[in-house]
Structure 1
């Protein structure tokens, strides 16, 4: 069977060759990309990387690459990341993504917002075409958790703290904030929900990435096919 993460890494690495400052996201697919970058170390050793997570930063540093802090405010020329779900793939001007399954949604959105160009890579199984219940992560100030959960429950939004099989208790982001998950029907207007949630005092960011943060999407499937969808104004 085709290793889709490896295929996506191989296909997308060429997009980084002529860039000096590269933003790198988080997750298993991105880990495969980092390994592919390492296999081509001579081409990337003089480049600068900015990461959305400590995990990606450590992996790049361990391979001998130059990683600069997100605190510098340096804008990546390109940002590349994976995603959890994408809606309306064939209408990229309307596409919406859910990200943050690894808990790095706030830094991911910071880098996506301030990068010159945004590329996302993922498997075809993550393309949502039917109505379903989806999980959307939100990052919340720890001392506001109780208030936020109570407020959203009164709005009839299902919500619970993110937990892990390998850790007892709520998951915290690299920023020291709590990750909560809400569960909603996928036919809801997600971009309106993004704005609604961020108006709740204590909510810092959501894992909803609207089309203004999406320039190119690369999808791989088990038939060894790759589909690329690009915003026309950014080709």
Structure 2
């Protein structure tokens, strides 16, 4: 069994997959910009193309942090509006399985991430090799919850075996973490999710649970590093080298 990769190696992988995805963006695209440690270098590299190549794009971000980064590197941003669709959204994931079912929301942006993913013609995931798993669930499943409903949501999730824990603000440990919408974040420790679709259906109707971090049937492809090569994974298909991939709209 190979030893776990170092943080430096994983950071290099993030840069590789981000650069690959940034190279696929075409003139005239309207983009959704993800959130997190792999989406950030993608945004930076995309801004570099805008500045140096004159790439003409517009974008909407899944978080305030990504929006600020995108504006800082020179990407023209558009506000949400009726009829707005994205040609391509590039985002990270906390876990992804062989069917490209995802757990997302470790950065607390799961609601906006799912809104933009659903409004996209193509969702492309960029992830380092540590995010690819045989079964979802080792990474705690995030939930976004209306503050008033928190006690009842916690009870309902505990009854499902989720061992919920309210997320604390990392910078201010005496405060609870909040999403950009002012909702609370709850991390559910299922350890293993045998049937993600069934769990999603159980979570969806809980009153006060605004959104869950299971992203099912949304990702069209994922760019990951396997071995030393950048590869593209798609649901039900064999992995292909990123250099041969030509499936984007």
TM-score by length of 2: 0.84
- Hey, what does 2:170 align to over in structure 1? 165
Separation in 2 of the partners of 1:27 and 1:164? 16
Does the alignment pair 1:27 with 2:41? no
CA offset digits 1:129-164 (Å, max 9, x no partner): 268633100111111111111232244431010124
CA offset digits 1:214-233 (Å, max 9, x no partner): 10111014x43111123589
Separation in 2 of the partners of 1:97 and 1:175? 22
- Hey, what does 1:70 align to over in structure 2? 80
Separation in 2 of the partners of 1:78 and 1:179? 27
- Hey, what does 1:54 align to over in structure 2? 64
Alignment of 1:58-137 (within 5 A): 58-71=68-81, 74-87=84-97, 89=98, 92=99, 95-129=100-134, 133-137=138-142
Separation in 2 of the partners of 1:161 and 1:5? 28
- Hey, what does 1:191 align to over in structure 2? 197
- Hey, what does 2:146 align to over in structure 1? 141
- Hey, what does 2:240 align to over in structure 1? none
Structure with the largest fraction of strand: 1
Higher mean displacement: 48-57 or 161-170: 161-170
- Hey, what does 2:229 align to over in structure 1? 225
Q: Secondary structure at the match of 1:218?
A: strand
From the superposition, tell whether residues 130 and 136 of structure 1 become closer, same or farther in structure 2 (CA, over 3 Å): closer
Deviation at 1:7, TM superposition (A): 0.7
TM-score by length of 1: 0.88
Separation in 1 of the partners of 2:63 and 2:192? 27
CA offset digits 1:1-34 (Å, max 9, x no partner): 6511111111111221244201110001111111
Gaps of 5+ in 1: none
When the two chains are superposed, the root-mean-square deviation of aligned CA atoms in Å is 2.2
Q: Secondary structure at the match of 1:160?
A: strand
Separation in 2 of the partners of 1:157 and 1:232? 29
Separation in 1 of the partners of 2:189 and 2:54? 40
From the superposition, tell whether residues 132 and 40 of structure 1 become closer, same or farther in structure 2 (CA, over 3 Å): closer
The number of residue pairs the alignment matches comes to 228
Residues 37, 44 of structure 1: 8 Å contact kept: no
From the superposition, tell whether residues 163 and 44 of structure 1 become closer, same or farther in structure 2 (CA, over 3 Å): farther
